[in-house]
Structure formats: structure tokens, C-alpha cells
Structure 1
Amino acid sequence: MRRGGSSKVRGRGFTLVEVMIAIALMAVVSVMAWRGLESVTRTDSQLERRSDDAARLLRALGQLETDLALRATTELPLPAAATAAHASAQLLPTALQVRSQAALPLLIEIVRAAPAAPGQWQRVQWWQRGSSLYRAAGEARREFPLPAPDAADRVEVLGDVASFGLRAWEPGQGWRNLPAVAPARVPASGLEAELAVLPAGDGPARRFRRVFVLEGNSPG
């Protein structure tokens, strides 16, 4: 007869099968947590890239708006080669030219006041080459002819650009693609810039439009 009239039951440990099941469950939970964290990190990175892209786009359009707001009211003499191609002279202000030239489907040139040199003017050009949108400002001077911007002066203001287009609003006629090929009846009262920007990942280009009011535009 055992002492105390009762038997002591020893604690039983985990079997190998139970340990393996526990490890498998921990592995599944770990994989789910890792995938969730990866998804959050990827989404955060995409949002950050989109935010950066939107900021660059807004800066580019803001700079274009500033250039247009500072445009001069003095006529810029055109080179002979550009005069024949510039059929939109009656549509656009005298200090604003949109034309096509060799290797560039579209170039916009603005004669504007030079903020860093009061009383002086400069030629500013915008154009797309490849997937980049460039801007270049020429030397500021008080008298015409103003020098064209040098190739070394160009600055990439926006990347991943699929297309860059401009249209002018002719009152009573509607939007006209630039450069225009026919004379206008009345001067344009607005200018629209359209940019198609490629996303950071795969997907179609996103299109953005900004309309600028051409105040004080009158026939030259």
C-alpha cells in the first residue's frame, strides 16, 4: 500500500507532433505578418513616390505660370527661319511663341522680365526631349535682340514625361492646338498646357492640364 493513499501524477511534456504543429503555426503567422508588413511598406513607398511626383509637377507648372505672368509686351524679332513657321502670330501675344523646330515637336519661348535684373529682359524656352521636360533661360539684357538660351543653361524640370502639348483658347472659336497653322480672328485669351506623366510603376500615363489666362493680349 502506497504512502498517503494517493498517487502523484507527473507532468507530461509536449510530444514531437505537438511541437511540429506549434512550429508550423508560428511559421504561418510569421509569413502572414511579413506579407502584411511588406504590403504596408510597398504602399507607403508608392504614396511617397506619387507625392514626390506631384510636387515636381506642381513646381514645373508653377514655374511655367511665373514665366507667363512675367512676359513682356515688347515684340521679339524672330529669325527668318522661325518667321515662316510662326503662323500663330495673330493668335498669341507678341512675347509668346510656340513653334516646331528640328528634332523638337514643340517649343515654347517666352520673352519675360528678368527678376534678378530689374529693367532687363530675357528669353526663356520650354521643350520636351525624350522623357524629360527642359527649361532654359537666356542672358538678361536691356535691348533687343535678346540672346537665345545656351544648351548649357538647360535644366530638367520634370522627368518621366510621355508628352507635352499646348493649346490656345480663341474666343468664339474654341481651343486650337499649337503651333497653329492658320491665322486667328481674335487673339487668344488663354493657354492650356497638358502633360502626360508616366507612373513610377507599370500603368498608363496620367494626364494633367493647367490653364493660364493671357491677360492684356491684343493684336500686335
Structure 2
Amino acid sequence: MRAARRSRATPRTAGFTLIEAMIAIAIMAVLSLIAWRGLDSMSRADTQLRERAEDAARLARALQQIERDLTWRTTTELPSPADAAPPPDDAPAAAGGAPPPLPLPLLPPGMEARRSGQGPFLLELVRAAPAAPGRWQRVQWWLQAGTLYRAAGVAADGYPLPAPQAADRVAVLEGIAFFEMRAWEPEQGWRPLPASGAARTAASGLEVTLGVRADTGPALRYRRVIALD
């Protein structure tokens, strides 16, 4: 009887049972999974923000380069041999013996916008060569297969200026859905380029629009207006 009483009076050893340990391990596993998912979502969001910031920076640099080319453009086109040659004797004359007035182009001298059929829109301009004072070069911008290209020809100090070659082109921006430009004709409004017909006054500004392909939905439009002095 005394031994049985002593056995019942002995305190139970403190510790966790197997079920309690399994429950604790399961709770820790669930908390670890939640924490890992949270960190993974934060990492993905940070990666997406970085990618969008890089895309926005590349887009801004492309628009700045277009604006820089337009800022450095020549105000007077270099004369071509056809322009320098005198008119033929049988050229028609207006009333009073004066030659007929020439149509006024919408774009200023040294700049041309064209599109061949259903081909891509192309902007070509003559600008001062930054690395060669006193020389000029031809610069072209166009969209091909979703990539915006720029090509600059060799700088020269006289006519004819060499046209850019295939090796001169540089892929400036990828993932572009469309590349469009409009010219502002005073008292007439915006006119899409290439313009059809002559203008009453020369354009005083250009609007450059780039469409960037989005993951879902329509392309995002980015627009910049550049004044033509």
C-alpha cells in the first residue's frame, strides 16, 4: 500500500506529447508557406516595377533622341543639282511673265515624311553632325516588325549627303505597335504625316506618337509635342 501511494504521489515528467509536437510542426509549416508566398509576391512585384521603369526610361530616351534630332536639324536644305540648274526656256509662266508660284510644303526644309504604299512610316531629316562641326548628315526613323529603328548617314560638308546604309541602323525600341506623326499647321490644326496636298503656312510643331504593346488590352499611347522654330 505504501509503495502504491508513493507511485501515485510522484509528479508527472513535463514535456510535449507526439500529437502536440505534430501540431506545432504543422503550424510552423503553414506560417513558413505564408511567409514564402508573401516574399515571392513582393519579389515579383519589385521585378515588374523595375521592368516597367526600364521600359519607361527607354521610351523617354527614344523620344528625347527624336527631339534632339529635330532640334539639330538644318533650317535650309542643301541645294540639289536640279535646284541649282536654271529653268528650261519652255517652262510655263504665269500672267505678267512671272514663273508660277511653287506649292508651300508643310514640313520645313531638310525634313521629309513618307510612306510607300502599306509600308512603314519613315521620317528623314538633315541635321548638323554633333561630332563634326560644319558637316551635316541624314537621319532616318522608321518602324519595322515591331521595332523602332534609327539610322544616321556619314557626315559630309556638301551635297549630296550620303544616305544611311543598312549597317548604320540601330534598334532603339522594341515592342512598338505603331509610330505616327502629325504636323501643326497654324490656323488649320493637326495634319497627319505624310501630308497630302500643299499647305497655306509651314508647320510650327510636330506631334510624335508611339504605341507600346501591353500584356493585355490595347497598346499604350505615348505622345510628345515638339515645337519647330
Task: Tell me which interval the TM-score lies in, with the shorter structure as reference length.
Answer: 0.7 to 0.9
Q: Matches of 2:78 and 2:57 in 1, distance apart?
A: 33
The secondary structure found in structure 2 opposite 1:124 is: strand
Which one of 20, 23, 45 corresponds to residue 21 of structure 1? Answer: 23
Give the C-alpha shift of residue 12 in structure 1: 4.0
> Which residue is equivalent to 2:219?
205
Q: Matches of 1:76 and 1:102 in 2, distance apart?
A: 28
Give the share of equivalent positions with the same residue, in percent. Answer: 58
What one-letter code is carried by the residue in structure 2 that aligns with 1:145? P
List gaps (5 residues or longer) in structure 1.
Answer: 81-87, 216-220
Give the C-alpha shift of residue 206 in structure 1: 1.5
Q: Matches of 1:8 and 1:162 in 2, distance apart?
A: 83
Give the C-alpha shift of residue 105 in structure 1: 2.2
Matches within 5 A, 1:174-185: 174-185=189-200
The answer to whether the 8 A contact 2:106-2:198 is kept is yes
Q: Matches of 1:39 and 1:177 in 2, distance apart?
A: 44
Give the C-alpha shift of residue 20 in structure 1: 2.4
What one-letter code is carried by the residue in structure 1 that aligns with 2:224? R
What one-letter code is carried by the residue in structure 1 that aligns with 2:189? G
Distance change >3 Å, CA 77–CA 27, structure 1 → 2: farther
Q: Matches of 2:177 and 2:48 in 1, distance apart?
A: 20
Deviation string, structure 1 residues 158-209 (Cα, Å, up to 9, x no partner) = 111111100111111111111111221111110010001124x445422100
What one-letter code is carried by the residue in structure 2 that aligns with 1:39? S
Does 24-33 or 152-161 show the bigger shift? 24-33
The answer to whether the 8 A contact 2:104-2:201 is kept is no
Give the C-alpha shift of residue 11 in structure 1: 2.3
1:135 partnered with 2:156: no
1:105 partnered with 2:105: no
Which one of 196, 202, 206 corresponds to residue 211 of structure 2? Answer: 196
1:94 partnered with 2:109: yes
What one-letter code is carried by the residue in structure 1 that aligns with 2:50? E
> Which residue is equivalent to 2:50?
48
Q: Matches of 2:25 and 2:37 in 1, distance apart?
A: 18
Rg comparison, structure with higher value: 2
Give the C-alpha shift of residue 89 in structure 1: 6.2
Distance change >3 Å, CA 89–CA 8, structure 1 → 2: farther
After superposing on structure 2, the runs of 4+ consecutive aligned residues of structure 1 that deviate more than 3 Å are 1-4, 201-204
Distance change >3 Å, CA 89–CA 114, structure 1 → 2: farther
What one-letter code is carried by the residue in structure 2 that aligns with 1:74? T
CA RMSD of superposed structures (Å): 2.4
Q: Matches of 2:41 and 2:224 in 1, distance apart?
A: 34
Q: Matches of 2:219 and 2:9 in 1, distance apart?
A: 79
TM-score (norm 1): 0.86
TM-score (norm 2): 0.82
